[in-house]
Amino acid sequence: MHFSKMHGLGNDFIIIDSISQNINFTSKKIQYLSNRYYGIGFDQLLIIESAHNPKIDFHCRIYNADGTEVDQCGNGIRCVARFVYMKKLTDKQCIRISTRSTNITLSKVDDTNISANMGLPIFDPKLIPFNVLNYQKNYILFLPQDIILCGVVSIGNPHCIILVKDINFTKLNSLGSILEHHHCFPKKINISFMQIINKNNIKLRVYERGVGETQACGTAACAAVAVGIKQKILCETVKVNFFSGHLLITWKGAGHPLYMTGATSYVYDGYLPVLK
C-alpha cells in the first residue's frame, strides 16, 4: 500500500490514493499508524477516491488520529490538491474536491502554495451543531472551574474560538479536553485560542477533537477569522500565525465565500504491507 507523507505548517498527514489501489482501514489500524512511536505518525489520514459527482474531480475521506471519520480538514485538503498535481492525477489548474460535508474549489498558486474556496461560514447553532437557542456574537460556557466566553462557527466542521491576551499562557490541554466533550457540542468541537496582534494579524493555537494540540489547522484559521470579522475586531484579510508558519484568510462577510491560501509540504513517499 503506497502512501505519501505531507504537512501544512506542521499539521501532518498521510495521503493514500485509493483510485489505483484497494485499501481497507479500521479505527484500530488508523490509531496504530498515527502513533508517532509505533507507526508513521500523523494528525489525519486522507484517502482520495473517485468522485461521486461528474462535476467533482475527486472525493476525500478524512480520519483523525483516533480513527474517527470527520467532515473537513482545511490544511489536509490543500495537501490533497498538491498530491493530485504532483502525482499527475489531473492537469487542471482549478479542481473541485468533495468531502463528507462539502465541496471545495482549490487552485494552484505556485509549486507549493494552494488556495481554497472554503465556502460560507456557518453560524446557525443547529447546523454547527451547537446546543443553544439563538445565535449570538459571544457565548458563555460554564465549566466546573471556569467560565468561558467564546465564538462558535462551522467551516464544514465545528469550531470554538476563545480570545486570549497571550497564546503562550493558556490552559490549552486541560480546557481543550473539557470543551471537546462539553454537552453543548453533540459532535464534539475543535478549540482555538486566538491572540490579536492587530486587525490584520493574529496568533492561533488549536486543540483538535480526536487529536489534541496540532501545529496548525486550516479550518481553525478560517473559523477564527470568521468569528473575528463577525465581531468586528478583524479586517477582511488576516494573516493567521501558527508556531510553524502562517495562512492568509480572506472573507468579505455574510453572503461571501471565505478563502484560505497557504503552503503545502511534501515529505516523502513510502509503502506499507497490507495491514490485517
Catalytic positions:
73, 217
- Residue ranges of E strands in 118-271: 139-142, 147-154, 158-163, 190-198, 201-208, 212-214, 237-242, 245-251, 258-263, 265-271
Q: How many CB atoms lie within 10 A of CB 96?
A: 16
Q: How many CB atoms lie within 10 A of CB 59?
A: 19
Instruction: Report the binding-site residues for substrate.
Output: 11, 44, 64, 74-75, 157, 190, 208-209, 218-219
Q: Is the bond into 129 cis (omega within 30 degrees of 0)?
A: yes
3-state SS, residue 214: strand
Q: Retrieve residue 122's grid coordinates.
A: 456557518
Q: Retrieve residue 31's grid coordinates.
A: 490509531
Instruction: Report the binding-site residues.
Output: 11, 44, 64, 74-75, 157, 190, 208-209, 218-219
- Residue ranges of E strands in 32-146: 44-50, 58-64, 69-70, 94-98, 103-108, 113-117, 139-142
Q: Retrieve residue 143's grid coordinates.
A: 465549566
Cβ-contact 246, 9 below 8 angstroms: yes
